[in-house]
Amino acid sequence: MSVSIAGIGMHPFGRTEGVSGMQQGVVAVRAALRDAGLTWDDVDFAAGGSEAAGNPDTMVSALGLTGIPFINVKNGCATGGSALTVAAAAIESGQAEVAVALGFDKHPRGAFNEDPARWGLPEWYGRTGMMLTTQFFAMKIQRYMHDYGISDAALAKVAVKAFENGALNENAWRRAPLTEAEVAGSRMINHPLTQYMYCSPGEGAVAVVLRRTSQGAASREVKLASVAFRTRRFGSFEVFSPHLAAERVDGPTVDAAAACFEAAGIDPADVDLAQVQDTESGAEIMHMAETGLCAHGDQEKLIADGSTRIDGSLPINTDGGCLANGEPVGASGLRQVYENVLQLRGDAGPRQVPGSPKVAFTHVYGAPGVSACTLLTV
C-alpha cells in the first residue's frame, strides 16, 4: 500500500465524567493532527465510528466546517478497523491525499446486553441469555480448551500480563497489577472465565492521520503495509450465532489475517509484536493461533514461558489490551494501531519492546462475526 500513518492521537480510556464520547473524539483528532504537523484544513477525507456515543461526522461542528466527505461506520468491535479500511481506501483510490480515521465510545456501566432485533435475531435468542456475550465467549473457550489442551492457569496468566502492561500505560483504565491467584480467585462469571478475565465496557477515543507515502516522508511516519476486513462464512460459530452448523469452517479472523499477510507479502513469523482482540482471556489465546502467530495448542507453552510478555519472543497486547484498557467499541481497533505506531517509533516508554521492532500486527474481532487486521512496518 502507498499509505503511511503520519499522526496518532488518543483520549485516555476508562471513565471520564462530564465529557461526552463525541468530545473525547475531538480531543483525539486534534492530538493526531498535532502529531502529524497538520490542521483540519489539510484533511481531504474522514471516516469514523461509534457504537453508542453519536454520529462521528457531526464533530465537524467542533473541528471545522470544511465540506470534506466524512463517512460514519459501525461494525461492532471491528468499527475502528473498518474506519481505517475506508480511510486507507480513499487514499489508495486517489480520492484523498490526507485522511483521518477515528473511533470513540462512551458505554453505560455493566456488561453488554444487546437487543436481538438490532441484529436480525428472534426474541427467543435473547431469552436464552446468549445476547449476553459473556456466555458466548465462555462456551467458545471451553470447547477450545478441551480440543487443544489449554489450562485454566493459561487464562489467568493472560490477564496477569494484561494488567502488568496496563500499569505501564498512562492511557489505560486498569493500572493495578494483579496476581494469578487474584485473577483465578475472582468472581466466576461464566465458567471457566472469572471477573478479571473479562474486559469492561468503557470510554475513550483514538484517531490516526493517514497520508500518501512519499519519498520524502518524515522519519516518524509508519507505513500501513496492509489492512484487511472480512465477515463470517456459513459454518463458523460467531457472536450472536443462532445455530451451529454440522460442518464447521474457519471464522473471519482466519480469513482477515491470511488476507492481511498475503497483501503485505509478510509472513506471520516476521511479526515483532502484535495486538489481538482480548475481549476476555480466552479470546487472546484463540486469536493467537487463528491469526497464524502460532499453532493451535502452542499457546500453553508460549504463555507459560513468558514469550508473549513485552520482553518475550512474541509480545502480545503490550498496552494491556482490552482487559486493561476496557472496550469502548468504536475505539478499540484504533487503540491497537496507536500502540503499534508508538512501538515502531520507539516511543512506548517503559513498555517499549526491545530490539527496535520493524513489523507490528493488529487484529480485532466483533459481532456478529467480523474481523479486521493490519500490518504496520518501518
In this model, does residue 220 exceed pLDDT 80? no
For residue range 109-146, list pLDDT tens digits in order. Answer: 877 768 888 888 888 888 887 788 888 899 999 999 99
What are the phi and psi torsion angles at 57 (to 5°)? -65, -20
Q: Choose between 280 and 135: higher pLDDT.
A: 280
Measured between alpha carbons, how far is 374 from 364 in angstroms, rounded to an integer?
Answer: 9
Residue carrying the nine cell digits 496468566: 157
For residue range 253-273, list pLDDT tens digits in order. Answer: 999 999 999 999 999 999 999
pLDDT at 130 (0 to 100): 76
Residue 231 DSSP label: E
**CATH number given to 3-109+198-377:** 3.40.47.10
pTM of the model: 0.95
Mean pLDDT score, 8-33: 96
pLDDT at 226 (0 to 100): 97
Mean pLDDT score, 95-115: 89
- Confidence class of residue 245 from pLDDT cuts 50, 70 and 90? confident
Q: Share the mean pLDDT of the chain.
A: 94
- Confidence class of residue 217 from pLDDT cuts 50, 70 and 90? low
- Confidence class of residue 1 from pLDDT cuts 50, 70 and 90? confident
Class of residue 43 by CB neighbours under 10 A (exposed 0-12, middle 13-18, buried 19+): buried
Measured between alpha carbons, how far is 376 from 222 in angstroms, rounded to an integer?
Answer: 7
Asked which of 26-30, 133-137, 334-338, 353-357 is least confident by mean pLDDT, the reply is 133-137
